[in-house]
Structure 1
Amino acid sequence: MQTTLKSAIRFSGVGLHSGQPVTMRVCPASADYGIWFRRTDVMVGDALVPARWDQVELSPLCTKLVNAAGVSISTVEHLMAALAGCGIHNALIEIDGPEVPILDGSSAQFVDAFLSRGLQGQGVPVRAIRVMKSVTVETPEGWARLAPGSHLSMEFEIDFDEAAIGKQRRRMSLANGAFVRELCDSRTFCRRIDVDTMRANGLALGGVPGVNAVVFDGAEVQSGQGLRHADEPVRHKMLDAVGDLALAGAPILGTYTGVRSGHAMTNRLLRALFETPGAIAWVECDPSLTAMLPGVGVRRDEVPAVA
């Protein structure tokens, strides 16, 4: 069955790229509502922004949604991953600025708050998107693919020159709360050589190593506490992909593979999936299929202690 939150939850922090303070409330919503953002600081025009793949303005460093009136909300991926990973299908997110708060750079604090507050069943079946044929997109740097599968599973590979990252690969099923247990606490990261460039371009102004980001400089890890997982970078890339795939508007039943992929490529993949004739089928989830969706049966005590 579809779910929403039992009551609203408030988050405050700063935007990773803007560095500006922001307050956000994640509120319950009715069945079949989906996920929507509402900019409470926008007083004129359409302040509602749907969390949907066809509203994404392509960006390599974050996922940014823009409605027809030009109202935007950026860096939505960690929040979307938390909602999907907890199995929350309907919510209205009220926010007083253009960027979701980064918190600790992962999804863990969102997840912990959602599971602490509790979810409300809504008595309406979940509709899911079954991948019927493989779709692939690629660039000179990497590629991504969605292929048929019984439930959402993921394989991701990254390859960096920094000795502290190197080549990492991970494969996992996202069924039965695996996102909460294995991915949600992995933090956003960057290379030291990229920090100055990003800030010169007005990005990463709210990033603080050890507070909300991990910075890699050759063999050195600048995080204040070391890594939460030996392969935390590839886990975070998978976290991002979970959030970006959630913009499909429904759970995906299929296998995602990403090789040096990122936000823009995953969005291009969703666009290709919806534009390819016969690539998807909408299915109503019976109890056995519902049991394979992310977030089903997860408990708060499974959230990593960092939350």
Structure 2
Amino acid sequence: MPRTTDHREKTLVAPAIIAGVGVHTGQRVRLAVRPAAPGTGIVFVRTDISDRDNRIPVSGDAVIDARLNTMIENAAGVRLSTIEHLMAAFCALGVANAVVEVDGPELPILDGSALQFVQLLDRAGFRRQSVPVRYIEILKPIRVEEGDKSAMLLPCDRYEMRFEIDFPTPVIGNQVVDFVVDEDTFRSEIMAARTFGFAHEVEALRQAGLARGGSLENAVVIDGDEILNPGGLRMEREFVRHKALDAIGDLYVLGAPIIGRYEGVKAGHAVNNKLVRALLAQPDAWREVTRVEELAEAG
């Protein structure tokens, strides 16, 4: 059964703490998600930095690098990377306000999906707050391209997502997923899908100082026509489902869930952030609304 919808902002009941390794840095980090007051939004705090402002509020403008993950930075030059999986969990579970403390430069990758972040938030519990949820309602189509990759936002009366990928290996091939972005669908079809990569790329990434924490424990690794992970895939079309997971997290840097339809073709973090910036640069293409306002207008 669908969950009863309550259009008030949500935070946590209690702090939630977890530790793990950063997929790119290989550094072990501790993460604590704490409740926050209405209007706070999602704010990351680098607790290992004390000589300057260590708070990084999430926004579309805060994203400074989106090549292999989503990295944010504040005005003091403090950075944090690989926020997208936790951001996807926040979006799907309706968490509008939280302070996330992390003692390193990158969030832990955990199992490469959003599953353990969802479990972490579930353990903490959720509390409704006194203010209505803000939504970004798409009024006009916005589209960006980068080579054969594209992403667009279209008007729609709910949050929908379609994602398509196409890889030459038969292990992946052409995959499409099309769904309504809500908590139930995220939990049942999206959150457990893991990040993936190709064995021939790993050495080059490590020479570039990346993927130092990557392993078969936190990514699906493909070598030619074979999946190296002993357990294989968790679900049908896991690859495209993970790309959709990333997109949900990448779009939540807008600070509010979307009322609109996202369509991505081969899009990654960089194209998603390009779409976010294109939307913000065209203020007549969207508006901020609450369901309370919408119900009042309908009445």
Equivalent in the alignment of 2:230: 224
| Structure 1 residue corresponding to 2:194, chosen from 168, 173, 187 | 187
CA apart distance, 1:163: 1.6
**Structure 1: any 5+ residue segments left out of the alignment?**
290-307
Q: TM-score of the superposition, structure 1-length normalised?
A: 0.91
The letter for the 2-side match of 1:35 is I
Cα distance in 2 for residues equivalent to 1:273 and 1:59:
17
Equivalent in the alignment of 1:298: none
In structure 2, do the counterparts of structure 1 residues 287 and 13 end up closer, same or farther at CA, with 3 Å as the change threshold?
Answer: farther
Equivalent in the alignment of 2:266: 260
The DSSP-based 3-state class of the residue aligned with 1:180 is helix
**Counterpart contact for 2:71–2:79, Cα < 8 Å:** yes
Q: TM-score of the superposition, structure 2-length normalised?
A: 0.94
Cα distance in 1 for residues equivalent to 2:65 and 2:99:
23
| Structure 2 residue corresponding to 1:161, chosen from 165, 168, 179 | 168
**Counterpart contact for 2:16–2:123, Cα < 8 Å:** no
Equivalent in the alignment of 1:14: 21
| Structure 2 residue corresponding to 1:101, chosen from 81, 105, 108 | 108
In structure 2, do the counterparts of structure 1 residues 277 and 51 end up closer, same or farther at CA, with 3 Å as the change threshold?
Answer: closer
| Structure 1 residue corresponding to 2:57, chosen from 47, 50, 57 | 50
The letter for the 2-side match of 1:273 is L
Report runs of 4+ in structure 1 exceeding 2 Å deviation: 286-289
The letter for the 1-side match of 2:145 is E
**Greater CA deviation, 51-60 or 78-87?**
51-60
The percentage of aligned residue pairs carrying the same residue is: 45
| Structure 1 residue corresponding to 2:93, chosen from 76, 81, 86 | 86
Cα distance in 2 for residues equivalent to 1:34 and 1:169:
32
Cα distance in 2 for residues equivalent to 1:109 and 1:238:
17
CA apart distance, 1:32: 1.1
**Counterpart contact for 1:134–1:147, Cα < 8 Å:** yes
Cα distance in 1 for residues equivalent to 2:103 and 2:123:
24
The DSSP-based 3-state class of the residue aligned with 2:153 is strand
1:124 and 2:139 matched: no
The letter for the 2-side match of 1:205 is R
Cα distance in 1 for residues equivalent to 2:140 and 2:288:
13
In structure 2, do the counterparts of structure 1 residues 232 and 288 end up closer, same or farther at CA, with 3 Å as the change threshold?
Answer: farther
| Structure 1 residue corresponding to 2:246, chosen from 230, 234, 240 | 240
**Counterpart contact for 1:86–1:177, Cα < 8 Å:** no
Q: How many equivalent pairs are there? A: 288
CA apart distance, 1:8: 0.3
**Counterpart contact for 1:162–1:217, Cα < 8 Å:** no
The DSSP-based 3-state class of the residue aligned with 1:114 is helix
The DSSP-based 3-state class of the residue aligned with 1:124 is strand
Equivalent in the alignment of 1:301: none
The DSSP-based 3-state class of the residue aligned with 2:130 is coil
The DSSP-based 3-state class of the residue aligned with 1:80 is helix
Q: CA-to-partner distance for each residue in 1:60-89, whole Å, 9 max, x for gaps?
A: 200000111110000000010011111111
The letter for the 2-side match of 1:61 is L
**Structure 2: any 5+ residue segments left out of the alignment?**
1-7
Cα distance in 2 for residues equivalent to 1:249 and 1:134:
20
**Counterpart contact for 2:18–2:120, Cα < 8 Å:** no
**Counterpart contact for 2:93–2:183, Cα < 8 Å:** no
In structure 2, do the counterparts of structure 1 residues 176 and 18 end up closer, same or farther at CA, with 3 Å as the change threshold?
Answer: closer
**Counterpart contact for 1:86–1:115, Cα < 8 Å:** no
